[in-house]
Structure 1
Amino acid sequence: MHAGPGLLCCYVDSGARASELLGLRLSDIDWQKGQLWVISKGTRERQPVPVSPTGLAYLAAYLEEVGLPEDGQPVWRSRRGEVRPLTYWAARRVLQRATEHLGMNWTLHDLRHTAATRMARDPAMTLAEVQTILRQAHITTTHLYTVVALDDLVDKLAEHYSRPQQPTTWSQQYDVEDIEVVFGAR
């Protein structure tokens, strides 16, 4: 197994930034709690990010196949030529190959956006919780991920149009002629 599936799953599950996840070391994996410890881009502090059991399973399969890294070395390594830490550009190429195969055009940062959007749309999660997971300084940045999906709106609009229309009534304080001028004949 190459790094692709595990790396992509960890990106989409955790919402980690590309550089943060590429720096992951064996000691940064908490298998029991289902989290990874990354050096945050913003604060430069070591902080936890969640990862799903599926992401951990892919990561374990990857490590089983390629072997454990040397002490202090990153988990994600190149498989072509000399074994070395996977760079941003190599990870970017892994994603490009996958998206070309699927007929898409995603970037590594799009995976963070995907994670953020999925979390923000989860009715069981608050925006503040998503902000904490993404380690964003401002809630206004996190709020960008709350855009409503068109598919969700189609169903709501269908419900709206299927409801019986209520007759329009006007307050007695308005002159009937004024209403007719503004809104047309009743």
Structure 2
Amino acid sequence: MERYLYDFWAKGMSTSSVESYARDLLRWFRFLWDSGRQWDRATRDDVRDFVVAMREATKQPATARPRFPEVNEVSGKPNLASTYAPRTINHNLSVISAFYEYHRRALTGPLRNPVPERGVNGSRFGAHHNPEDEYVHGRRADYRQKVPVQAARSIPDLAFENLFSALGSDRDRALVAFYVSSAARPSELVGLTNGMVDVGNQCISVVRKGSGSIQRVPASSEAFMWFRLYQDRLPNELSGSGLSAWWTRRRPYRPMNYEAVRAVIRRLNVGLGSNWTLHDFRHTAAMRMAQDPRVSITDIQAVLGHVHLSTTEAYLKPRDSEVIGRVNEHLAARLVVASAEALGPTGPSRYSAEDIDDLFGGAPWQS
């Protein structure tokens, strides 16, 4: 594992990607240890059993999933955690496949990759591809899961107002205001330093997670207002341009990390009875920009830092609540029209006033 991860990091990957791959490999090795198999003797059947174990772990409802994996009574090692989504399973298979492919090329592992590959007519996907032709996508590889296409989960305006009013400090208000206006990723905003905050131009500079490049992103004036109030209460020694912009509230002061910011939202969820995440703020900012006709989709793509425009197009899909509300209005309008048609025409009478007086008399009706 160390040799593979060292080679993976040398290719220019970030430390967070190395950690993600290491966790997936550790999950695979724990499975092999529990089953008594050697890593270089793993077969396609072992991969199948691994996927089955992860699929069975996802059958529990979200509210019943344990926060930490249980420990196996025999081996003393943690069992598979009950938090695996189809996308997580597919990512884990990709990591395992790359791990065995590295050792296959280096002749330090099995000569056959136990993870099935996707192919067309039995061949490796993309083999002997003509660059002038489009890729022909065949069926997905064996044991790869179907990933449901879901709309981005954003926070409705009323729910966000309740969440923001429940925040207990100017620091937390500034964090959330930056998240929901700049659409920065959680890790990108946590890594903000004082020198990366440009109050005059209402912009912040974030280090993009994928490319590592520094990009200026606009943010709301409200976010800078809360940030200024938070900075006024900080000691002077913590306000240097190269220091972290976010610090713990109690002494000894420490820079906040990703888990510390998650803890803030976790406490809010307990009090509000909600289950919002840090990434939901990014979705909310993107959805708000997509609903503004003055902001183009290419502008949203640039702010979000997406490489492909197709990724940004997911935010053009309206919320389910908005669709339901508009359809209900349509159905109500249809009911009014149908009722009016059933009552018939309500215009002036076809009979003359003199004929009505002769028939019913000119005196008004008495109730």
TM-score under structure 1 normalisation? 0.80
Distance 1:84 1:115 in 2: 29
Is residue 2:309 matched to residue 1:139? yes
Amino acid at match of 1:37: S
Higher Rg of the two aligned structures: 2
Q: CA deviation at 1:160?
A: 6.8
Q: CA deviation at 1:161?
A: 6.3
Indicate conservation of the 8 Å contact 1:78/1:85, yes or no. Answer: yes
Structure 1 segments unaligned to the other structure (5+ residues): 166-186
Question: Which has the higher mean CA deviation after the structures are superposed, 65-74 or 82-91?
Answer: 65-74
Indicate conservation of the 8 Å contact 1:36/1:50, yes or no. Answer: yes
Distance 2:328 2:317 in 1: 16
Q: CA deviation at 1:80?
A: 3.0
Cross-structure match for 1:176: none
Q: CA deviation at 1:41?
A: 0.8
Give the CA RMSD over aligned residues: 1.9
Question: Which has the higher mean CA deviation after the structures are superposed, 85-94 or 153-162?
Answer: 153-162
Of 223, 240, 245, 1:75 maps to: 245
The 5 Å alignment of 1:1-186 reads 1-67=169-235, 68-153=238-323, 154-155=325-326, 158-159=329-330, 162=333
Q: CA deviation at 1:95?
A: 1.2
Percent of aligned pairs sharing the same letter: 35
Q: CA deviation at 1:110?
A: 1.2
Q: What stretches of structure 1 move > 6 A for 4+ residues in a row?
A: none
SS at match of 2:177: helix
Distance 1:57 1:39 in 2: 23
Structure 2 segments unaligned to the other structure (5+ residues): 1-168, 339-367
Indicate conservation of the 8 Å contact 1:4/1:95, yes or no. Answer: no
SS at match of 2:217: strand
Indicate conservation of the 8 Å contact 2:170/2:227, yes or no. Answer: no
Q: CA deviation at 1:60?
A: 0.5
Indicate conservation of the 8 Å contact 1:20/1:38, yes or no. Answer: yes
SS at match of 1:66: coil
Cross-structure match for 2:40: none
Indicate conservation of the 8 Å contact 2:286/2:315, yes or no. Answer: yes
Amino acid at match of 1:42: G
Distance 2:170 2:319 in 1: 33
Distance 2:292 2:259 in 1: 32
SS at match of 1:148: coil
Q: CA deviation at 1:139?
A: 0.9
List per-residue Cα deviations over 1:79-131 (Å, max 9, x = no partner).
Answer: 23421110100000011112322221111111111111111122221111100
Amino acid at match of 1:155: R
Indicate conservation of the 8 Å contact 1:2/1:62, yes or no. Answer: yes
Distance 2:272 2:294 in 1: 31
Q: CA deviation at 1:30?
A: 0.9
Q: CA deviation at 1:151?
A: 4.3
SS at match of 2:250: coil
Question: Which has the higher mean CA deviation after the structures are superposed, 13-22 or 69-78?
Answer: 69-78
List per-residue Cα deviations over 1:5-49 (Å, max 9, x = no partner).
Answer: 110111111000111111111111111111101111122111111
Cross-structure match for 1:168: none
Q: CA deviation at 1:134?
A: 0.7
Indicate conservation of the 8 Å contact 2:183/2:285, yes or no. Answer: yes
